[in-house]
Structure 1
Amino acid sequence: MAESALRVAVAGASGYTGGELTRLLLEHPNAEPVFLSAERHAGKRLGTVHPALRNHPAATGLRLAPLTEMPEVDVVFSCMPTGTAPELAPALAKNSDHLVNLAGDFRLDDTEEVRRRYPATADHPPPGRFVNFVPELADGAPDSAFVSVPGCMAVATVYALQPLFAAALVDARVVVDAKTGSTGGGRTGGEHPAERNGNFRVHKLHGHRHAPEVSQVLGETTGQRPDLQFSAHSLDTPRGIVVTAYTRLLPGRTALDVKRAFGRAYARTPFVRMRNSPRAPHEFPMLKAVVGSNVAEVALSVQEDRCVVVCALDNLLKGAAGQAVQIMNRTVGLDERAGLPSTAVLP
C-alpha cells in the first residue's frame, strides 16, 4: 500500500455491511483499513469473524478492537447497528476528517420523523450537519464532512422514481413493492433459516422507515414529494433487492418523455445502468445481474398512462458498503469507480 493511501476505519466491522466494506477496502488501490472495531469480538482476528476474508494477504495482521482504541484517520465508516451511533458519533468525528454513516441514524431531517423512527437519535444531536448523498443525483463531492448513506431499499426506490419526478411526468400517488434478501436484517437477525428457506412473505406493509427517506431525497432533488405507499417483502435469498414502482403518467406525458427522462438521468452514470426496451423477462433488472457488483439496474415499461419501473441492486454493495466507498471516492477526489466491482457473480 502506498504511503499516500487513505487511512480508513470501520466502526462496527463484525456485521455483514462492515465485513463487506472491509473486503472492498482491502482491495482498494488508494485506501487502507487501519482500524476495525467490534466490541463483542475485540481481540479476534479478522478472518475468524469473517472467514471469507481470512485468505486475503493483508488480513493476516488485522484484529478487531474496541472503539476506544481508534486512532486518527482520514475517513471513518460507521456500520454500527441503528441506535448505537448517536452516542458514539462525536468520538468518531473527533478522530476523523470525514464520517460516513451507514446506519439509519441521522438520515432524516424532520425531527418528528426522527423521534418516531429513530428515538435513540432524537436524544443525541449529531456532531455536525449530516447530508444524505446519492452520487448519481449530485455533482462533485458532498458539501459536508458528515454523510449518511440512504437505506438500501430507499435508494433503489429513489433510482426508480427520481427521473419521473424530476421531469414532472407522474401523479404524486405511487405504489412501491420492495423485496429484500435476508442480509437486509443484519447478521443478528432473528428469523430462523428454516422459516425463510423456500418462503416468500410480507415484511412490512405500512410504515417502513425507509419510506420517509424516499420522500426526503426526492423532495430535495426534485422539489416534489410522492404520496407513497411503500410495502416490503422478504425474499428467500441472502442478498439483493428488487423494487417495483407503479405510477400514472400525467395528462399529455408519453412513453417517449419517460424514456428521455431516464436517459438524461443515467446515461453517464457508471453504476446505474438502464436496461433499454426490455421485452423478455430475463432482460429486465434481476438479482443474478447485480449481486456481487456495485451496479443498480433500472428498466421501465409504459402502457397507456401506466408506468412501471423496476430497479435491482445488491443491498450490501450498491445499497450500503459499495455506495459508501463510492461516496468516499467522490469526497477525496478519486475516480468514483476506484475499488468497486461492476460485474455480478454467477451462478
Structure 2
Amino acid sequence: MTERITVAVLGGSGFIGAELIRLLAGHPQVELKFISSARHAGQRVGQVVPGLRNSAAGERRMRSIDELSKVDVAVACLPNGTLPGILEEVSGKADLVVNVAGDFRLREPGEVAKHYPESAGGWRHPIPYWVPEFCGKPIEPVLNLPGCMAAATLYALYPLFRDGLAAPQVVVDAKTGSSGSGSGSVEHPAVREGNVRVHKLHGHRHAPEVRQALTDLTGHTPDLQFSTFSLPVARGVMVAAYGRLLPGAEDGDVRRAYAKAYADTPFVRVANGRTPMSMPMLKTVVGSNVAEVGVAVDEDRWVAVSTLDNLIKGGAGQAVQALNRVYGLDERLGLAEASGWP
C-alpha cells in the first residue's frame, strides 16, 4: 500500500488504549490520526500514559470524542456501555469500527442484561464476534473482539471441540494479572502482591461468551465450569482446562487436532509439551501478540493450557490483526512475536 491507513483510538487513557497507541505509532502502514479521552482531553498523551512520554506519540494531544473526523478505522477501547450510544455517529466517520469492550459479545438478551446491563439497547444490527484465527477476513463495518480470558480459553478448547474429541463437561481455571481489572482498579498493591486469590468462582461473563463462540465455531456446546483467579503480576493470562475424551478418542487424535488447527496461525503456537518448561508460560508471551497452547493426555483425561498477554493478544494486538486483515496486509505487521526474557 502507498497510502497510510488513518486510525482513531477512542479511549486512549486506559491500559488497552495505551497499548494500541504504542502499537499503531510503530505500524509502517498506519497514520494515527486521532486519540480521545473523556477525562484527559487537551492533555498530552505522555502526561496521561507515562510509558509513552519518551515517544513521539507521547507528544500528541488527547481530544474529546465529539471532535472525531473521518478516518479509515476507529478502535473503541471505551468502558462497557459507552459505545452503543455513540456507535451510529462513530460508524458514520469510520469505514471500520473495531470494539475491544464487551458491549456486543453476547447475543442472548438475558445474558446481555445479566453481564452487560449498561450495554443493552442502542445499536440493533448484528455485530460479528471476530477471532482472527477462526474467522475469515472481516467484511462487516463493525467488529467485536473477544475478551482476554475468553480468547485464551477458546485457543485451549477449539481443536478438541472442532474435531469432536471432548466430552461436553469442561472445567476452566483462568488466571489473570492485575491489568485485567483496568486502569480504574482500586485494589491495594499490598493485597495483590505475593498473593493468588479467587476472583469469581461462578457466573463470570466470559463463560457464556465461550459457550456461544464454541457453539458457533464448532457446532458443539460445552458444559463449562468457568472460575477465575487473580495473579500477582501486571499482565498475562493463563488458562488451564480439564476434561475427558469421548470414547474412541486417543492421545494421537488430540495432538493431530491441535497441530491441524494451528498449522497456519502466525500468532497461536502449539508448545511441544515434552517438559514443564516447554509448556505455555507467561514469560514467553507477555509483551508479544503470541498465544501459546499446550495439551497433555493421560488415558481418557486431557489438560489444555494456554497463555497470552491480556493487553496485546487479548486486546490491542487483536485489533491490529483485524486492521491488517481488512486491508490485505501481512497479519504480523506492527506486532511483536517475541517476549522479553527473563
TM-score range, shorter chain: over 0.9
Measure the CA separation in 2 of the matches of 1:272 and 1:123: 35
Give the match for residue 33 of structure 1: 32
Given that residues 86 and 120 in structure 1 are in contact (C-alpha distance below 8 angstroms), is that contact kept between their aligned partners in structure 2? Answer: no
Measure the CA separation in 2 of the matches of 1:192 and 1:48: 23
1:252 aligns with 2:248: yes
Secondary structure in 2 aligned to 1:135? Answer: coil
Task: Tell me how far 1:3 sits from its aligned partner.
Answer: 6.6
Measure the CA separation in 1 of the matches of 2:215 and 2:263: 22
Of 292, 314, 325, 2:287 maps to 292
Secondary structure in 2 aligned to 1:77? Answer: strand
Which residue type is aligned with residue 5 of structure 2?
Answer: L
Measure the CA separation in 2 of the matches of 1:282 and 1:238: 21
* Segments ≥4 residues shifted beyond 6 Å: none
Measure the CA separation in 1 of the matches of 2:138 and 2:202: 32
Distance of aligned partners of 1:3 and 1:63 in 2 relative to their CA distance in 1, 3 Å threshold: farther
Matches within 5 A, 1:273-288: 273-276=269-272, 278-288=273-283
Given that residues 21 and 57 in structure 2 are in contact (C-alpha distance below 8 angstroms), is that contact kept between their aligned partners in structure 1? Answer: no
Give the match for residue 82 of structure 2: 84
Of 219, 227, 230, 1:231 maps to 227
Given that residues 75 and 99 in structure 1 are in contact (C-alpha distance below 8 angstroms), is that contact kept between their aligned partners in structure 2? Answer: yes
Which residue type is aligned with residue 55 of structure 2?
Answer: H
Task: Tell me how far 1:57 sits from its aligned partner.
Answer: 2.9
Given that residues 181 and 241 in structure 1 are in contact (C-alpha distance below 8 angstroms), is that contact kept between their aligned partners in structure 2? Answer: yes
Give the match for residue 212 of structure 1: 208
Secondary structure in 2 aligned to 1:335? Answer: coil
Give the match for residue 144 of structure 1: 140
Which residue type is aligned with residue 107 of structure 1?
Answer: R
Cα deviation code 1:131-165 (max 9, x no counterpart): 111111123x1231110010000010000001100
Cα deviation code 1:240-283 (max 9, x no counterpart): 0000000100000000000010011001110000012x232211
Measure the CA separation in 2 of the matches of 1:58 and 1:238: 23
Identity of aligned residues (%): 53
Give the match for residue 194 of structure 1: 190
1:55 aligns with 2:54: yes
Matches within 5 A, 1:50-199: 50-60=49-59, 62-126=60-124, 128-139=125-136, 141-199=137-195
Secondary structure in 2 aligned to 1:103? Answer: coil
Given that residues 129 and 144 in structure 1 are in contact (C-alpha distance below 8 angstroms), is that contact kept between their aligned partners in structure 2? Answer: no
Measure the CA separation in 2 of the matches of 1:3 and 1:63: 26
Secondary structure in 2 aligned to 1:253? Answer: coil
Of 260, 265, 268, 1:269 maps to 265
Measure the CA separation in 1 of the matches of 2:8 and 2:76: 9
Which residue type is aligned with residue 14 of structure 1?
Answer: S
Measure the CA separation in 1 of the matches of 2:187 and 2:162: 39
Secondary structure in 2 aligned to 1:289? Answer: coil
Which residue type is aligned with residue 103 of structure 1?
Answer: A
Secondary structure in 2 aligned to 1:179? Answer: strand
Which residue type is aligned with residue 161 of structure 1?
Answer: L
Q: Which moved more, 1:182-191 or 1:85-94?
A: 85-94
Gaps of 5+ in 2: none
Measure the CA separation in 2 of the matches of 1:144 and 1:213: 20
Q: Give the TM-score of the pair, scaled to structure 2.
A: 0.98
Which residue type is aligned with residue 68 of structure 1?
Answer: D
Cα deviation code 1:7-38 (max 9, x no counterpart): 10011000000000010000001112110000
Secondary structure in 2 aligned to 1:147? Answer: strand
Task: Tell me how far 1:171 sits from its aligned partner.
Answer: 0.4
Gaps of 5+ in 1: none
Measure the CA separation in 1 of the matches of 2:208 and 2:138: 21
Cα deviation code 1:175-233 (max 9, x no counterpart): 00000000000000121111101111000000000111101111111011100000000
Which residue type is aligned with residue 131 of structure 1?
Answer: P
Secondary structure in 2 aligned to 1:198? Answer: coil
Secondary structure in 2 aligned to 1:267? Answer: coil
Which residue type is aligned with residue 331 of structure 1?
Answer: V
Cα deviation code 1:47-89 (max 9, x no counterpart): 11112112223443x1000000011100000000112221122
Which residue type is aligned with residue 298 of structure 1?
Answer: V
Q: Which moved more, 1:188-197 or 1:82-91?
A: 82-91
Q: Which moved more, 1:107-116 or 1:38-47?
A: 107-116
Given that residues 129 and 146 in structure 1 are in contact (C-alpha distance below 8 angstroms), is that contact kept between their aligned partners in structure 2? Answer: no
Matches within 5 A, 1:292-311: 292-311=287-306
Task: Tell me how far 1:119 sits from its aligned partner.
Answer: 1.1
Secondary structure in 2 aligned to 1:88? Answer: helix
Measure the CA separation in 1 of the matches of 2:289 and 2:61: 27
Measure the CA separation in 2 of the matches of 1:40 and 1:282: 44
